[in-house]
Amino acid sequence: MIVRNLDEARKGERLVVADGWDSTRLLLAGDNMGFSFHITRIAAGTSHEFHYRHHFESVYCISGEGEITDLATGQVHQIRPGVMYALDQHDHHRLSARGELVLACCFNPPVTGAEVHRADGSYAPAPAHAQGA
């Protein structure tokens, strides 16, 4: 059984901070669950472009308001508490926050915790050992 406290995890290396957002990685590849689980905060008034070419992601909005734009189609979806979106086609997207967004996120394959976003908004492919190979 794995039990972790969000506030405690935010004080250590599980907290990843970037320009306009941070993410606390509560489950990582090393936990051998087959996915990673994060609580991510997007700062109010910011907009971020992502394109997870090697990962699938599902996101559930806990608090805040914003929107996600599918950059391939231009379609815009409103994000508010209770809304979930899944990037099931490695969707190139822009996430914009009107107020601070707090999101629960799952990645498959799981992230290791050492990833950084590349220029195209993606993470590098997961190492084979992180995928259970």
Under the banding of pLDDT at 50, 70 and 90, the label for residue 127 is low
Q: What are phi and psi of 94, to 5 degrees?
A: -120, 130
Q: Note the pLDDT of residue 130.
A: 43
* DSSP conformational letter for 51: -
Q: From CA 71, how far away is CA 55, in angstroms rounded?
A: 17
Q: From CA 37, how far away is CA 108, in angstroms rounded?
A: 9
Q: From CA 1, how far away is CA 15, in angstroms rounded?
A: 21
Q: From CA 80, how far away is CA 119, in angstroms rounded?
A: 28
Q: From CA 107, how far away is CA 36, in angstroms rounded?
A: 5
The pTM of the whole model exceeds 0.75: yes
Surface-to-core class of residue 17, CB atoms within 10 Å of its CB (0-12 exposed, 13-18 middle, 19+ buried): exposed
Of 21-30, 55-64, 75-84, 118-127, which range is least confident?
118-127
Rounded to 10 degrees, what is the CA torsion of 99, 108, 55, 79?
-20
What value does the mean pLDDT take over residues 59-80?
98
Structural domains for the chain: 15-112 (2.60.120.10)
